[in-house]
Structure 1
Amino acid sequence: MKAVAFDRYGSAEELQYRELEKPIAKSNELLVRIRASSINPVDWKIRQGHLQLLTGFNFPRIVGSDISGVVVEVGPEVTKFQPGDEVYTFLNPVNGGACAEYAAVPESSAGFKPKNITHAEAAAVPIAGLTALQALRDLGEIQAGNKVLINGASGGVGTFAVQIAKAMNAEVTGVCSAKNLDFVKGLGADLVLDYAEIDFTKQSEKYDIILDAVGTKTFAECEKVLQSEGVYISTLPSFDNLAPMLTSWLLPGKKAKFILANANPADLGFLRELIESEKVEPIVDRTYSLAEVAAAHAYSETGRAAGKIAIVIEEVISH
């Protein structure tokens, strides 16, 4: 099968479009013909070698996590899916494997693809959408009427977080760059702040939930603008937030938490319902082919994407 992989850590130039062995589905797995993937910052951080302690030195490594595609085979223990089903999910980012024509997917982490969107749009959902959902609902315990601030509201996680928070009837403030103010307003945000002009941590407004989707603010900076029982959630683990996360877990009052998304059928189904009812729309900034993954990584690294970057994997004859 065709895939994009690298043989050593480094720049996007290490990525090669090449022929690799097609995976074999285990008894509890689906073999999925991947129609689309998408880029997440973790993909190029892994490629650069920032997570070597987790990812190790087994090469070649196929990049990518998000997938949307069609089931072509099922293992004998699989009960909920059959060949021909359209599915979406994400693979463990540590192992990768999404920027390829096929992937073996555990049944326990797959969901049925939303019917009203393309594979490219569906592939934009899993990591970013589940991160936003699980951060707001599970860690933030979001309630109708809550004041929620999304830092990085125009990015992959941010665009989902704004829409999910509005679908849950929260009052949403989005923080982004000047060029994306109207874009984030269009997603449903009640108020949008230009981070270059306004530092939300120095304002008088207090929030029930602050989701830092870009990891540019610490709990210490955000604490003063949290309500007395407010929750700060970061998508990036950092040394600065480690102590507050430990102490706030033990003590009452304001909380600092870190979100690590979990792929499961129930939450993929929840997102599917939001998308099919048109309460949430995946935002795709640009689309690249499988052979252009290196260029997609380079664009993602600029930090300028509004929404997600999709990888469309062309229909080819099976190898």
Structure 2
Amino acid sequence: MDMMRAAMYDRYGPPEVLYFADLPIPEVPADQVLVRVEASSVNGGELSAREGKIRLLTGRRFPKLVGIDLVGSVERVGAEVSSVKVGDRVWGLVDESVFGATAEFALVRPEKLAPAPTTLEPVEAVTLLAGGTTSITALRDHAHLGPGERLLVRGASGGVGSLAVQIGKLFGAHVTGLAGAKNLDFVRSLGADEVHDYRTTTPADLGRFDVVLDTAGTDHRTYRGLLAPGGRMVAVSLDFDHLPGSIAYLAGSAVHGAQRVRFFRGDPHSDLVAELTRHADSGDVRPVVDTVHPLENIATAHRALEAGGVRGKHVVRIS
């Protein structure tokens, strides 16, 4: 039986529950693709899943795999798949219900894959996937961000925020970024028109915005109050430490009040991933690599993201 290395955990807990081990390479269902993974990254949702904060969704069946996004090459294709072939260079995302991208091989549905950028190395390209597809969906499809509008990005140095700054500028907005003091120059280098230290700048100091993109998951009510007439707020994260209240507020704001908060969980398909490929190859967005970790240091990678102050993404090099 052919084996592969994969990152996993056997119980909920801190980063120390993570380890890597050998698993059988999975059989390929007729409607899926087996990808030989070269790089993956660590995303905030994985931390909450590993800690057990969303165990009502993730359940108690172990071991559990980690990893959402990947760059690699097609190793095998299911009998019903015609959109990709063995040897194709691809990138995309696995289903968040199962994870599994941080492994030497991963099963992916073909409708979640697109040709990988040709201008970037795998460890660079993978930093764009989750944040780029989320930002395009949030700013274009949910907020309908237009040229000249004022955009506020909370968490502007992180995996989603660093792409939201770039996508916002691509759409012609005036972008204000909130980040930690040590990352202000970094956010400015991404194209932000204004940057502020979230620890020393109060929301009242920021003014009004047409669109607020929230990646932090906290204080939704406060930042909703910064919206100008006709303003839109999109939240891409919840307050997992106060989950029932966070869900209740967002649900209520979606139906009450003049300025509603839109919340969504990304589920990008191949057309959106292919659009991001074009942006990457044309230089519209640039990779945002914080640190590259080997697979055996998966716990270190999770610990680093938890520590905060990240610039872009922590990447896991697989092969």
How would you bin the TM-score normalised by the shorter chain?
Answer: over 0.9
Query: Is 1:253 aligned with 2:258?
Result: yes
**Match of residue 211 from structure 2:** 209
Q: Cα gap change, 1:204/1:154 in structure 2, threshold over 3 Å: closer, same or farther?
A: closer
Give TM-score, length-normalised by structure 1.
0.93
Q: In the TM superposition, what is the alpha-carbon distance from 1:60 to its structure 2 partner?
A: 1.4
Match of 1:306 among 297, 300, 311: 311
Distance in 2 separating the partners of 1:75 and 1:184: 42
Q: In the TM superposition, what is the alpha-carbon distance from 1:204 to its structure 2 partner?
A: 6.0
Query: Is 1:263 aligned with 2:268?
Result: yes
Residue by residue, what CA displacement relative to the aligned partner does 1:119-147 show, whole Å, maximum 9, x if unpaired? Answer: 11222222222111111111111111111
**Match of residue 280 from structure 2:** 275
Q: In the TM superposition, what is the alpha-carbon distance from 1:27 to its structure 2 partner?
A: 1.1
Structure 2 residue ranges without an equivalent (≥5): none
Q: In the TM superposition, what is the alpha-carbon distance from 1:259 to its structure 2 partner?
A: 2.5
Q: Report if aligned partners of 1:203, 1:225 keep a CA contact under 8 Å in 2.
A: no
Distance in 1 separating the partners of 2:183 and 2:19: 33
Describe how 1:57-68 pairs up with structure 2 within 5 A: 57-68=60-71
Match of 1:120 among 115, 120, 123: 123
Q: Cα gap change, 1:248/1:62 in structure 2, threshold over 3 Å: closer, same or farther?
A: closer
Equivalent position SS for 1:285: strand
Give TM-score, length-normalised by structure 2.
0.93
Q: In the TM superposition, what is the alpha-carbon distance from 1:242 to its structure 2 partner?
A: 4.0
Distance in 2 separating the partners of 1:54 and 1:243: 17
**Number of corresponding residues:** 312
Q: Cα gap change, 1:112/1:178 in structure 2, threshold over 3 Å: closer, same or farther?
A: same
**Match of residue 221 from structure 1:** 222
Q: Report if aligned partners of 2:153, 2:214 keep a CA contact under 8 Å in 1.
A: yes
Describe how 1:52-91 pairs up with structure 2 within 5 A: 52-91=55-94
Distance in 2 separating the partners of 1:49 and 1:100: 21
Q: Report if aligned partners of 2:183, 2:309 keep a CA contact under 8 Å in 1.
A: no
Query: Is 1:46 aligned with 2:31?
Result: no
**Match of residue 237 from structure 1:** 238
Counterpart amino acid of residue 230 in structure 2: E
Aligned CA RMSD, in angstroms, stands at 1.5
Describe how 1:95-106 pairs up with structure 2 within 5 A: 95-106=98-109
Q: Report if aligned partners of 1:29, 1:78 keep a CA contact under 8 Å in 2.
A: yes
Counterpart amino acid of residue 270 in structure 1: E
Q: In the TM superposition, what is the alpha-carbon distance from 1:178 to its structure 2 partner?
A: 1.1
